[in-house]
Structure 1
Amino acid sequence: MKRKQRKLLRQLKKKYDRQKRRVMKKFKLPADQARELSFIKKAYYGEVNYIN
């Protein structure tokens, strides 16, 4: 069971890493800003259109 959980966590992490890169490219962000998951989710789902 633990192996399966670890596998799922790894998949999630990969998914968010991909999203983070996409967001960073889109908004030309520094990595530390893009690392925030809530921000990524918002940007990913289009709730954030621009950054000052």
Structure 2
Amino acid sequence: MPELLDELLLARNEAGGRFRKLITMYKKVELLIIDEMAINGATRRICLYII
């Protein structure tokens, strides 16, 4: 999970549409299980900022 969040943050701050490509890729996934949120202490505010 930390790697996913890092990748999304980096992509969001880059030019070239990488963030949009990542989001499009994740939209195609039928089921995405993210179970480390509580372990890493990511708050709702942080998660909403990233996405």
TM-score, with structure 1 as normaliser: 0.29
Structure ranking higher on relative contact order (CA contacts 8 Å, 6+ apart): 2
Q: Which has the higher helix share?
A: 1
> Which structure has the greater CA radius of gyration?
1
